[in-house]
Structure 1
Amino acid sequence: MCAKMKMHEWLVQCTHVINEQNAEADRRDKLLGSLALLLAKKNKRVKKKRFWVAPIFKKRYEHGFYHALLPTLKLEDLRFHNYFRMSTMQYEELLAIVGPHLEKQYVVREPISAAERLTLTLRFLAAGDSMSSMTYQYLVGLTTVSNIITTTCKIIWEHLCPLVLPSQLFEDDWRNIAEDFEDIWDFPHCIGAIDGKHVTIQCPDNAGSNFYNYKNSHSIVLLAICDANYIFRFVDIGAYGRRSDGGIFRESRVGQHLDAGQMNIPKSDSFYKGGPSLPYCIVGDEAFPLKSYLLRPFSGKNLSAEQSIFNYRLSRARRVIENSFGILASQWRVYRKPIISSVETAMKIVQGTICIHNWLRRNDIENRYISPDMLDRETAENEHIRGLWRTIMEDGCALVDISNCSTNTSTRNAMLIRDEFCKYFNNEGSVAWQNDK
């Protein structure tokens, strides 16, 4: 019996040794295979480029758009405005602001000028053409086109943003915005309209589901507050498209600063004689939370007549932000389809278009940037006419509505504030035509 047990143990040990030897042989074979593959790649002859610059690109000074056609286009103001979304004078002013920061040093080859870089970028944003298309229009390499667009949008954000989108407003600024809302949209103590959009992008590399939204596409979130004149006052760009419910607004810089009371908003006061002291508020739709500084409509179907009137008056003021996004999609056709670029470049493109939009809107004395039929408007009989931008948005573009970006909980104080605004719109602040709506 002992002899059999010893024999069995010996066989087990032999089997274990043989298995270890086989495993070691397999590891050695894999290592040798990897080494052979590395040696093969190292010894592989690298194909040299036939040209330092492709022959077609050498003809840039003869046939490229900037050199061949732009001088003629500058003589026709209407076509120039259609091509760049701005007049010749505005183009030169913008070039004076960002041009010095776009200049490159002459090292090996003559660099592309700042004016040509700005021209290419503005046309890309305005036309929504692919970068490959811009390559053949301006006779510049594809990688160079991508770098130019990314760099130019970055510089526009860095040097134009402080002028048209300051990071901080003061009490007088907020009061001026409130006066505009009261004069234009009959909504007192309103300091802005807020909304958010998904900006559709191509599927990022190795991003997992971070950018995958409820519309079954990939996107980054653009959250914005605008004033009564369609100028963006605060933006938050780049949140993951998958975020929903309470995350988008609560975790945005705008939401955090509003919650912390760090926006220099004026203190509560009465906006009519003998009325209660009410805070200055932002207006939003049902996607946003009801806060002491943010008004949203009454929800539900069985609303009273007073609540329905409040909802109408609020939606009338809130349409400003919808129209602002509509202008953005109408004028800058890069938003007409998913943005084909990396996430970082897509964010810079959004930043660049926001800054240029604000800059043009602030200087839009003749209302050339925004045509009258582009916006929602009301007739003398207070009939609502839909703006042309709605057709663009409905036909499909890269700007998509966000879902709920907040929870439905609200404080009693916030509900009391909304009730006071509701009372005002149905009494002292009523207008003759609101009951017809």
Structure 2
Amino acid sequence: MLLGCIGDDFTGSSDLANTLAKGGMRTVQYTGIPHAPAAQEVQAGVISLKSRSIAPEQAVTLSLRALDWLRQQGCQQFFFKYCSTFDSTPQGNIGPVADALAAALETDRTIVCPAFPGAGRTVFQGHLFVHDRLLSESGMQNHPLTPMTDPDIRRWMAAQSARPVGHIAAETVFAGAGAIRAALHDAPAGHQVVDALRDEDLVAIGRAARDLPLITGGSGIALGLPENFGCTSGDVPWNGQAGQAVAMSGSCSRATREQVAQHAARHPAREITADAVISGQLALGEVANWLMQQEGVPLLYSSADPDVVRDIQTRLGSQTASAALENFFAETARAVVGMGATRIITAGGETSGAVVERLALSQLAIGPEIDPGVPALRAHPNLVLALKSGNFGAADFFEKAANVLEGKS
């Protein structure tokens, strides 16, 4: 294995694996830390952890265990992948995990770059934008677990990390890989937040990071990494999977709410609430049966408006409500797969992670891209999945995902 990657959730790990596979690297996504060595032909391994919203010390422990396994596979470089909207809190996990990985690898400088222009995420003057809005005005300020209220990634990282935080500005990035490499060399030790507005910026950053032991960022920065290992872009092979498709959405992002609304106008859709789950009003077996009896691509969702989410959190507690919904989605996924569902589509990082863990999937083969950052995945001969981050995907994502998983264009 050449490149070892650690993702803090399952959807983001799929996003990264997708980027590396399109770049020509033979890539496998592992769900959790493997117990056996990687296959000899694997060039890039992506370990998916459900560590984004857990306590920082737990996230550090899991990430270091993942690093140990990847080092045992002979990796030459390591990548810590987090969301392109930098999902965390001022007391969150990105800084502590980046610090711990850097210390373990004995490196004194790292890149911090969550940019993903293909999905509308850019970094300019150290500030993260979502399309034409600052991160704090994009809807992410309403995230139920990781509200992003400050778009300045330098301040956000400084609040979390014990290391100094610097900045490499856009004018240096526009000058190309050589200028970026020189700026990294000349910068004081610590984390360097790097501006990026275009895909070509990310390619240049990736090339400049050829000799860095550790890179941190969103999946976009991986655009420039495969070429460093002599890999070239190519089509990703895929055999479609027929059978029943089921979609589940636990994301409350603006993009996902729009996707839910559009899909519900064309396909069967059923909303669930934390109140109904916690009170026992919902019978899991009845919901699973309903999903399997529908035509088209039935959707089970809990994607509420921000005001509704705030009310639920006030009454039930954010962790209680989130855990109840995640568990219900996960158990429902296990039930419908047991009943013969062959295509599972999930929206939301926490929801997707809960579903993958409950299905006990050990590794996922990377297929073609459905929408930027979201690949088709094969779990085993009779089960394929699409795991979507909340803010990703076009308005018709659920229907498009079902078609790509089936092998239709």
- Tell me which interval the TM-score lies in, with the shorter structure as reference length: under 0.3
More strand by percentage: 2
Q: What TM-score do you get using the length of structure 2 for normalisation?
A: 0.23
TM-score scaled by length of structure 1: 0.22
> Higher helix proportion, which one?
1
Structure with bigger gyration radius:
1
Point out which structure has higher relative CO (alpha carbons under 8 A, 6+ apart).
2
